[in-house]
Amino acid sequence: QETRRLIDRLYGFEVSPVLWRKVQAGLSAGRVQSVATRLVVERERERIAFKSASYWDIEGVFDPASFTANLVAVDGARVATGKDFDSLAKLTAKDGIVHLNEEQARTLCTSLANTNFSVIKVDDKAYTNRPKAPFMTSTLQQAASGRLKWGAQRTMRVAQALYERGYITYMRTDSTTLSDTAVTAARTQAAQLYGADHIPDAPRRYDRKVKNAQEAHEAIRPAGDVFRTPAEVAGELVGDEFALYDLIWKRTVASQMSDARGTTATIRLGGDSSDGRTAEFSASGTVITFRGHLAAYDDADDDQDDKEQSRRLPALKVGDAVTAVSLDANGHSTNPPARYTEATLVQELERLGIGRPSTYAAIISRIIDQGYVWKRGSALVPHFLAFTVVRLMEENFGSLVDYDFTASLEEVLDQVARGEDQRLTALKRFYFGDKDSGGDFPGLAPQVAVYGDIDARAMASIPIEGSDAIIRVGRYGPYLQRGEDTRANIPTDLAPDELTAQKAEELFNAPSGEHELGIDPETDRVIMAKTGRYGPYFTEVLPEGSPKSAKPRTASLFSTMAVDEVTLLDALRMFTLPREVGNDPADGEVITTQNGRYGPYLLKGKDSRTLPDEESIFSLTLEQALELLAQPKLRRGRGQAAGPLKVIGADPSTGKEVVVREGRFGIYITDGETNASLRGGDSVENISIERASDLLAERRAAGPSAKPAKRAPAKKAPAKKTATKSVKKKVPAKKTGVGKSPASAE
């Protein structure tokens, strides 16, 4: 562990400053962190380069039993499906395949309307489904992501709590092995709950097939020699803790149960169209006759790709006639590779042999907090900043983000931990290189030594296919640039694969957010409309030579105003605020109307009232103002609250309704008890219930915000006595040298 820590420090201390100087201050690099960021960026590059292919097929409903079958062949040639196209929308097979377009599919559909179909082939195969291994860290995170919609950090936080309370074994492990005691406990419980026929004759053993697995701990399982069922702990565990314990218990018990068994039937139908073409349709269905381990844990729920389509088909034999009840032509398009989720990123790191179970959740949190990655729902989306950092690393520190090298370094660290390699030797090889010993790693120090040659501007430039514009990553965020002078901001929630040439043109043509409205006839100052951090506003340009203390007039736009449509008159009108409505006849105090951060209001001294709309600022009469002031004031947070900006849905963990609101400190989500601020990349439009649930869970786990301690009141000094002092003769202070006072000499 000491060697691992030292290498991680060397990596971070040497490479991070290069990022500060060449990209942006405050960035960090890390042995696993940088590789994880590269994986996310590479997946986004694949999505950017991806070309979608469209294809058509025909779906039919046939009697008897109204079963569904799909067109699979025309005149003996297989009908193309999504798997037949590569990432550039080209067919991977040239012969023996037919690619239907919309017109061809609809024409064939029409010509098959009166066709007499019959069964031309029936195929029955035995179906077997083996249980999955007990959980290790990565598979627990994946299952929690699929079933509970949790992020890796939330899963590990709940698992940590269960471990500390003695409900489960250690949760940071890369082992799928159960102790003999645990195997016995799982088999015994399975037999008691589901029957002796639900356990195999011999215990099941699961071997790991992942690079650099240490297997220092056994798999994650319920603690103890006898497992407590979820029903037995229901009174002690609630919410997240119960949900995760239930998942771990089911997976552990199921891992020692029998295979699920059944039959998969495939029926092939054939018929001739009115124009002489032969069409073949196929239908498949799996019928499970013995559930086995599925009685405890249906693993199809862990991942969408694992779901088995279970349906019964009618008992048919070759030659039986079937009738097409309906035939529909359907269009499809291929999809780009899915972005990583927290669970699938952990799975990929584990497959590559990079990192350790104890660090995966922290690594993902790190790349999100650093601003390299943000979450859209459960998907991990790279910021443009990540593209710049990864490119710099690939082109200048290639081996440090190379997957094979990082995995081999992980293996070296394990060898040191086992005493098979010397710590100092491993550190020297990493820092100075191993070329003297026949290796090809140049070493960390020699690579960092030439960082001055890195072209920072080139690293921060990202081309857009089909456009003469480029994406620049500046110190204050990404932006579009064309030529030297034309620029446009990039929305923070725009994913890199969505910034196409067409989208770039839209951003260039959008209102710039800053334009000159004219000159104020009274002051001769230029009036501008701008968009700032807190929204659009009017301002004036101060003349040259103005004192530093001089401040320009500013005024926020009304919510009904658009920054690209406002006029000079609008600005001058807003500059007149606050508007004096009149004096209260009762006491002569002035009443004004104003436009504030929370909307329009009227003010008399320290007494204020909210106005019904913005135009009331200019139209409100003194009588109306007095009437409003006479009404009881509804304090913020009391009275009628503003409606939510969005209702997201029910939190899968608590069942409470989660909504988005706007408060004093910005946009936040709440379930009525817990509030959580939105993070970078989150927006009102794209936040999902899964993401909201994670944010609320993190906030609950953090506990209540610490309130500053009240200062104790200063104690009064006791009254001085007025008794006569005894006077002593002063002794002249001894000289202590030039520049020193007597006090400093003591």
Q: Indicate which residues carry an active-site annotation.
A: 170
DSSP H or E stretch at residue 266 = strand 260-272
Of 455, 507, 456, 459, give the one whose Cα is nearest residue 486. 507
| DSSP symbol at 464 | -
Of 537, 517, 687, give the one whose Cα is nearest residue 597. 537
72 near 84, Cβ under 8 Å? no
User: Would you tell me how many other CB atoms lie within 10 Å of the CB of residue 212?
Assistant: 19
604 near 627, Cβ under 8 Å? no
Alpha-carbon distance of 309 to 69, in angstroms, equals: 13
SS3 state at 369: helix
Alpha-carbon distance of 321 to 587, in angstroms, equals: 97
Strand partners, 595: 600
Alpha-carbon distance of 224 to 338, in angstroms, equals: 40
Alpha-carbon distance of 352 to 350, in angstroms, equals: 5
Alpha-carbon distance of 546 to 542, in angstroms, equals: 7
DSSP H or E stretch at residue 527 = strand 526-532
Helices 403-417/2-22 angle, 10° precision: 150
Distance from chain centroid for Cα 229: 33
Alpha-carbon distance of 20 to 13, in angstroms, equals: 11
Alpha-carbon distance of 477 to 332, in angstroms, equals: 37
Helices 342-352/360-369 angle, 10° precision: 120
Alpha-carbon distance of 196 to 713, in angstroms, equals: 73
Angle at 192 (CA atoms; ends 189, 197), nearest 5 degrees: 105
Alpha-carbon distance of 32 to 9, in angstroms, equals: 12
Alpha-carbon distance of 601 to 608, in angstroms, equals: 7
Q: Beta strands 607-610 and 646-650: pairing type?
A: unpaired
Alpha-carbon distance of 678 to 670, in angstroms, equals: 11
* Token digits of residue 145: 């992501």
User: Would you tell me how many other CB atoms lie within 10 Å of the CB of residue 55?
Assistant: 22
SS3 state at 380: strand
Alpha-carbon distance of 581 to 33, in angstroms, equals: 60
SS3 state at 176: coil
SS3 state at 718: coil
Alpha-carbon distance of 172 to 183, in angstroms, equals: 20
Distance from chain centroid for Cα 529: 35
* Token digits of residue 469: 């514009």
